Amino acid sequence: MGKGPRGQGGFTTQQDDTLHGRKKGSVDSYIVSRLLQYIKPLKGLVATAIIITVGGSFLGPLRPYLTKVAIDDHISKGDLQGLGAISLILGAVILLDGIKQYAATWLAQVIGQKAVFNIRMDVFRHLQKLPARFYDRNPIGRLITRTTNDIESLNELLSSGIVTILGDTLQLVFIVGIMVWIDWQLTLVVLAILPLMLYATVFFKSRVRIAFQDVRTHVARLNTFFQEHITGMAIVQLFNRQERESEAYAAINRDHRDANIRTVFYFSIYYPLIETLSAVAAGLVIWYSGVRLLKADLTIGIVISFVQYISLFFRPLQHLSDKFNTMQTAIASSDRIFRLLDEKEGLEDEGEKDAASPLDTFTGSIEFKNVWFAYEHENWVLRDVSFSIRHGEKIAIVGATGSGKTTIINILSRLYPYQQGEVLVDGIRLEEIPQQSLRSLVGVVMQDVFLFSGTIQENLAFGNPSVPFETLRQAAETVGADRFIRKLPGGYSYRVLENGTGLSTGQKQLIAFVRALLYNPEILVLDEATSSVDTETEGLIDRATERLMKDRTSIIIAHRLSSVQKADRIIVLHKGVIRETGSHQELLKERGLYHKLYLLQHPETLTAEGA
């Protein structure tokens, strides 16, 4: 067979050199604008926080000025009454400043928590819409990092960073304004240090940004490795891989440690440098003030107030440098979160786009016409596959591992897009049927059953939460699951551990069949549903599926040929190509591939034929 049609291509695993169309290292206005979208719905709280912060930002800078007035206008003149009045005013200013800080902090935390709540919800909703191919190329640990560590970094910025930055900036404005009003010459002495401080901040910004991005990358690697190995710990222990896996984890852990040390190195230089510059400014003020005091060109009150203003002046700058640390972490995290949110969602519903009516019921047929499919590039899993399934027909699809059996179900459920050909349901192209409508018609029982943490009842009713308990119990009884459920502590209220730990494979499989029965799909798919159960459980499931498949279109994906013999038709796949089609007896008479597979699983038949 020829090379076949060219695929449509898949998702790239490499990050672009630009983020949403902007060059790396450019101003992070895009990220800020995206974050502001989560603040806008809270504009009432934000406005209140801003009013309180702006209105109270002069209170801190006012204290040194009141000290100057107390010394120059009252203490130096022996005015005890005036000193008492100034002391009361100073106490009131301190009290109001404390109230302002409490109110601003509380409002900032509320704003931050509400915004982060909305971000978390957007990320979770978006993850549920992403196609299966996205999860094929993104480790679970990396996604967990996005929804935990990265969003928590935003929490710190949105809860305290924004208000603190605004308050500290306004305080700097008031401090400089009051200092200029008191004595512009001393103000110039203090501000002479500012260019060096700004240069140091800009110099360290780019280096710290890269270091924080490295830290987040290594956190994701740690989470991915840890999650995989906790899940597969039994395999690690059975193959005596503890030491080797510890060495692999140590290598990733060392990278994480070194990235953190790099950030510590930058800040261990930056913070002492700021402290040194602050001390230099204080020294220059004292020296210059001393010269002017000797000339009687300055008052003691001004000198003391300026010493206090130096502390006040550099404190907001230190706060801003602290928030700079937070901002760098948050910007790196925001970059990752918005990349995730901008991932293209699942297959586009042409039916929804063209306002076509959803498919409420299935009455005709399912048709695959010359379908080609590859998970990656042109590694074709299905090659020019064509077949049809009539309403009410029971079809089995068999073949060796990797022949493309499950892929057909993935296409029918619209988990993956096919690259060439056409799939029709009741004469409607698959792409024109809204996903929700299609999946309400198709119920799949998989080989690997996933159970969520919760009760047995919640897991049984996962596809139909509103089902009455009696209906649920009858369904469990029909399948044969009621017998083992009633023996569990608490029965239907028994709490399932993560992924059904504590339940046997057969018990989980029975739960999956009850789910399918309660979901009541018009098209039932059994994907290797009995391959992992014992003979007794398989017998229970066989009897239940006979009832479940009655008057229902059914597709059985099976490796065991014993489970497909009663099918109306059997499709034999081999390396993505349909090799044979017919009933069990017809295919045996052809003595082709199906006959060979049957003999491999039933060697006693070969002996009988030889006899």
Q: Return the H-helix or E-strand segment holding 471.
A: helix 469-479
- Do 324 and 374 sit in the same domain of this protein? no
Tokens 């140590």 correspond to: 250
Residue 7 inside a domain? The answer is no
3-state secondary structure 223-283: HHHHHHHHHCHHHHHHCCCHHHHHHHHHHHHHHHHHHHHHHHHHHHHHHHHHHHHHHHHHH
Q: Which of 308, 341, 374 is the last residue of a domain?
A: 341
Is residue 351 included in any domain, yes or no? Answer: no
Q: Calculate ∠ Cα 491-494-498, nearest 5°.
A: 145
- Asked if residue 356 belongs to a domain, the reply is no
359 found inside a domain: no
For residues 311 and 422, membership in a common domain is answered with no
Tokens of 324: 């700079």
257 and 395, same structural domain? no
Tell me if 12 is assigned to some domain. Answer: no
If asked whether residues 273 and 384 sit together in one domain, one would say no
pLDDT computed for residue 72 by the predictor:
80
Are residues 330 and 229 both part of a single domain?
Answer: yes
* Residues facing 387 on adjacent strands: 368
Predicted pLDDT of residue 510:
85
Do 510 and 373 share a structural domain? Answer: yes
In a domain, 5, yes or no: no
Is 2 domain-assigned? no
d(CA 342, CA 183): 54
Residue 433 and residue 524 share a domain: yes
Number of other CB atoms surrounding residue 38 within 10 Å: 19
Dist. CA 318–CA 470, nearest whole Å: 65
- Which residues neighbour 327 within 8 Å (Cβ) at sequence distance 6 or greater? 157, 161
Contacts of residue 281, defined as CB under 8 A and 6 or more positions apart, other chains included, come to 189, 190, 192, 193, 310, 313, 314
Low-confidence ranges of the chain (pLDDT < 50): 1-22, 24-27, 351-355, 607, 610-611
267 and 324, same domain (yes or no): yes
Cα 303 to the center of its chain, rounded Å: 55
User: In angstroms, rounded to a whole number, what is the distance separating the alpha carbons of residues 27 and 400?
Assistant: 55
Q: What is the DSSP string of 191-203?
A: HTTHHHHHHHHHH
- Shared-domain flag, residues 525 and 465: yes
Residue-wise DSSP of 105-159 = HHHHHHHHHHHHHHHHHHHHHHHHHS-HHHHHHS-HHHHHHIIIIIHHHHHHIII
Classify strands 380-390 and 365-374 as parallel, antiparallel or unpaired: antiparallel
| Strand 454-455 versus strand 495-496 pairing type | antiparallel
- Listed in sequence order, the DSSP H helices in 295-401 are 300-341, 350-353
For residues 599 and 480, membership in a common domain is answered with yes
Distance CA 511, CA 451 (A): 9
| Number of separate domains in the chain | 2
Beta bridge partners of 454: 496
Q: Is residue 360, in this structure, part of any structural domain at all?
A: no
> Can you give the residue range of the structural domain that contains 405?
365-610
The tens digit of pLDDT for each residue in 316-331 reads: 776 776 676 677 778 7
Q: Give the CATH number, domain containing residue 162.
A: 1.20.1560.10
Contact 232, 225 (CB under 8 A): no
Strands (E), 391-491: 394-399, 420-425, 428-429, 442-445, 454-455
User: Which pLDDT tens digit goes with each residue over 319-367?
Assistant: 776 676 677 778 778 888 888 888 887 665 554 444 455 777 888 899 9
The verdict on 440 and 294 lying in the same domain is: no
Domain at 596, CATH number: 3.40.50.300
Q: Which phi and psi (to 5°) does residue 448 adopt?
A: -95, 105
Residues 403 and 313 grouped into a single domain: no
